[in-house]
Amino acid sequence: GALAKKKAIEVNMAIPSAGGASVPELVTFTLAVLLIGYLLNKKVNRDNVKANFENLKSYIKTLLTAAQYSIVYCLFAVMLGNLCDLCFPKYNSNAPWYRLLAEVCLQAGANAMLAQFTRDVISVVPLPDMENAGSQLPASSGGVIFAFILFSRQGNWKEKVMQLDKLLEKDFIVCFPKSILRQMGLM
């Protein structure tokens, strides 16, 4: 009854130019903004508006602290990322799998040393920790940003990993050499 008598409201809205963004891009952006707003709303306490604002400010400060760490780790990874690659032999497409495996593993160890050195240096850099949450944040130890950029800067290592993958796929089933499995009658 009562709903049927209400007059429908029509909303006409012009969508401003979004610099050539397509409708799916605009929809995706809108959904992302709404999702972030929803998650931030869930993050803060709904009981008290002032507490909500303080919690939101605190959360934003934590995010800014994480961003600071990521920026510094990114800088180190970009500047030092190829150092380990320079310490190892150039990629050789004819190298046997066991040599590639040894080089990849040794270079992983060298990268772990570089990562630990970077963490030790960054731990003494006086970054502002706005909410005393820095050491608890995954970004404070480099996280995904550092690892991704460090690997991206090492072209020889990437080539070795890709070649090793091809060789192991061709000659192994998981970690078992196909030649031995054939000799055992398992293939």
State the pLDDT at residue 42.
Answer: 67
Task: Give residue 12's pLDDT band: very low, low, confident or very high (50, 70, 90).
Answer: low
Task: Give residue 73's pLDDT band: very low, low, confident or very high (50, 70, 90).
Answer: very high
| Confidence (pTM) | 0.64
- For the stretch 87-129, pLDDT in tens is 999 999 999 989 999 999 999 999 999 999 999 999 888 877 7
Residues whose CB falls within 8 Å of the CB of residue 14, separated by 6 or more in sequence, listed in order: none
- For the stretch 145-185, pLDDT in tens is 899 999 999 999 999 999 999 988 888 887 788 888 888 88
Give the number of C-alpha atoms closer than 13 A to the C-alpha of residue 79, restricted to the C-beta side.
7
State the pLDDT at residue 100.
Answer: 93
For 77-121, the DSSP string reads HHHHTTHHHHTSPPP-TT--HHHHHHHHHHHHHHHHHHHHHHHHH
Report the SS3 class of residue 81: coil
Q: Compute the average pLDDT of residues 134-152.
A: 84
